[in-house]
């Protein structure tokens, strides 16, 4: 079968809730993917940062195979020998006291929202049913009903009401608005340290620290959604580290499994996650031994192969090379680490389609921004190869 055959089948038998580029990938390794017709592409999306470690990382793959031969799922009705080790390794790496594992990023966000509300009632003393969480405009935290309830994107909400109450929206990066929005019933502030789906929107320097200080002064939990921005993507283990703060809860996923399996987690303190008692919250697959073995290997790969440091160094280089491109169609190039947004004056989709023809896979976001986020194993020579083609498409 060829590309058009697979596309025809997908269009006929699948729900049309995505608009992918017309490339059908059959295998991948490192930063490269190969389609069913044998063409090779440089992956500059990294599955929205899920494959920070590169496609089919051999050590993560071996950990998955080894564990799959032993036991894959026990449910949390029983203990397994991988979950305690993952807990300890997350603690040692991040400094957070405890973790709560889930599967998808959206599930982890829901977990954080539930924990924040329960903390608000049982610890802060907010009257029952009145807890409020502050979020930011143009946020993207997932697609569940509760999460789209505090989205400001009309498409994400269209046709899905009624919505979950208990959320206040402020402009992203506006400390004054945050302070004014806090009330005695505010239990948490949920924020992406960099807004990825909004177009790699980086807040002004100091915003995260100011917001964190405001939360501390008002006994409000600071929740950092690092599902895309964390685990090395921006040149630090977590993006909040660029401002020297420590959130009350950090939400992680995607690269926690290196792209092999859905694994996510909420990291926090014993005080916050201690509000959950047996039966309050859970997941059949969350914390299963296969997931935990994969997550442990994924974290080791990030650390042992110094991928976070590579992201910092090569991100600066990639950003600098892209900022050299000159075109009246180019509005701005911005980024941190290997997470770069190229904002165009018009629609970004046609540029992504032309880049595909040049052997580079990337994706538009919010219509006008091309997002470049390759696996952290990319080399300087591969960046140079990509820039030549990106320059040709944008300047041409």
Q: CA–CA distance from 182 to each of 146, 164, 189, 217, 251 (Å)?
A: 20, 19, 9, 11, 22
What is the rounded average pLDDT of the residues 375-379?
98
What is the rounded average pLDDT of the residues 282-293?
98
Could you give the angle at the alpha carbon of 63 between the alpha carbons of 313 and 65, nearest 5°? 135
Q: 3-class DSSP state for residue 190?
A: strand
- The 10s digit of each residue's pLDDT in 59-77 is 999 999 999 999 999 999 9
pTM over 0.75: yes
Judge whether 254 counts as a catalytic residue. Answer: yes
| pLDDT recorded at residue 212 | 98
What is the rounded average pLDDT of the residues 172-183?
98
Closest CA to 120 of 208, 209, 176, 189: 189
Are the beta carbons of 276 and 300 closer than 8 angstroms?
no
Distance CA(206)–CA(115), nearest Å, equals 27
pLDDT at 396 over 90: no
What is the rounded average pLDDT of the residues 380-393?
98
Catalytic residue, chosen from 140, 189, 207, 238, is 140
Closest CA to 74 of 298, 287, 253: 287
pLDDT at 123 over 90: yes
Are the beta carbons of 364 and 370 closer than 8 angstroms?
yes
Closest CA to 108 of 371, 365, 287, 338: 287
In the chain, the domains with their CATH numbers are 3-57+306-395 (3.90.1150.10), 71-304 (3.40.640.10)
Q: Is the dihedral of CA 345, 346, 352, 354 positive or negative?
A: negative
| pLDDT recorded at residue 327 | 97
Read off the pLDDT band of 363 (50, 70, 90): very high
Judge whether 140 counts as a catalytic residue. Answer: yes
Quote the DSSP letter at residue 240. Answer: G
Catalytic residue, chosen from 118, 236, 254, 363, is 254
What is the rounded average pLDDT of the residues 274-281?
98
* Residue 320 Ramachandran class (φ > 0 left, ψ -120 to 50 alpha, else beta): alpha
Read off the pLDDT band of 98 (50, 70, 90): very high
| pLDDT recorded at residue 135 | 98
Catalytic residue, chosen from 225, 285, 318, 356, is 225
- The 10s digit of each residue's pLDDT in 322-346 is 999 999 999 999 999 999 999 999 9
What is the rounded average pLDDT of the residues 109-122?
98
Judge whether 150 counts as a catalytic residue. Answer: no
| Mean pLDDT computed over every residue of the chain | 98
Closest CA to 341 of 349, 333, 352: 333
Q: Are strands 32-35 and 40-43 parallel, antiparallel or unpaired?
A: antiparallel
- The 10s digit of each residue's pLDDT in 229-243 is 999 999 999 999 999
Q: Roughly what angle, to the nearest 10 degrees, separates helices 289-304 and 58-68?
A: 160
Distance CA(54)–CA(43), nearest Å, equals 9
Q: What are phi and psi of 216, to 5 degrees?
A: -65, -40
pLDDT at 85 over 90: yes
Distance CA(158)–CA(296), nearest Å, equals 39
What DSSP element (H or E) covers 214?
helix 207-217
Q: Which residue has tokens 């006008």? A: 368
| pLDDT recorded at residue 284 | 97
What is the rounded average pLDDT of the residues 187-212?
98
Distance CA(51)–CA(256), nearest Å, equals 9
- The 10s digit of each residue's pLDDT in 24-39 is 999 999 999 999 999 9
């Amino acid at each position: 079968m060829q590309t058009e055959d697979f596309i025809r089948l997908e269009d006929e038998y699948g729900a049309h809730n995505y608009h992918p580029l017309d490339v059908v990938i059959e295998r991948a390794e490192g930063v490269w993917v190969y389609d069913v017709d044998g063409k090779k592409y440089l992956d500059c999306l990294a599955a929205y940062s899920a494959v920070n470690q590169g496609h089919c990382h051999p050590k993560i793959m071996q950990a998955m195979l080894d564990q799959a031969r032993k036991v894959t799922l026990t449910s949390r009705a029983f203990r397994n020998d991988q979950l305690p080790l993952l807990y300890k390794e997350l603690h040692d790496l991040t400094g957070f006291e405890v973790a709560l594992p889930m599967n998808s990023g959206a599930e982890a966000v829901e977990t954080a929202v539930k924990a924040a509300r329960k903390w608000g009632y049982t610890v802060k003393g907010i009257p029952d049913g009145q807890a409020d969480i502050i979020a930011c405009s143009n946020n993207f935290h997932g697609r569940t009903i509760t999460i789209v309830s505090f989205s400001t994107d009309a498409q994400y909400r269209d046709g899905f009401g009624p919505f979950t109450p208990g959320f206040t929206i402020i402009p992203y990066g506006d400390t004054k608005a945050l302070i004014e929005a806090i009330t005695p019933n505010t239990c948490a502030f949920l924020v992406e340290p960099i807004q990825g789906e909004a177009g790699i929107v980086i807040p002004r320097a100091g915003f995260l620290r100011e917001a964190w200080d405001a939360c501390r002064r008002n006994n409000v939990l600071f929740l950092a959604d690092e599902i895309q921005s964390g685990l090395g993507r921006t040149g630090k283990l977590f993006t909040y580290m660029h401002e020297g703060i420590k959130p009350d809860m950090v939400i992680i996923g995607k690269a926690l499994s290196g792209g092999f399996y859905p694994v996510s987690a909420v990291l926090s303190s014993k005080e916050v996650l201690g509000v959950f008692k047996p039966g309050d919250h859970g997941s059949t697959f969350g914390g299963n031994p296969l997931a935990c073995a994969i997550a442990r290997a994924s974290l080791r790969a990030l650390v042992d192969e110094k991928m976070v440091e590579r992201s910092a160094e090569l991100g600066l280089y990639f950003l600098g090379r892209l900022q050299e491109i000159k075109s009246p169609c180019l509005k701005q190039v911005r980024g941190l680490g290997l997470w770069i947004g190229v904002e165009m004056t018009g629609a970004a989709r046609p540029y992504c389609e032309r880049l595909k023809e040049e052997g580079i896979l990337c994706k538009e976001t919010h219509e006008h921004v091309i997002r470049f986020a390759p696996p952290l194993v990319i080399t300087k020579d591969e960046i140079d190869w990509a820039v030549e083609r990106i320059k040709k498409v944008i300047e041409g």
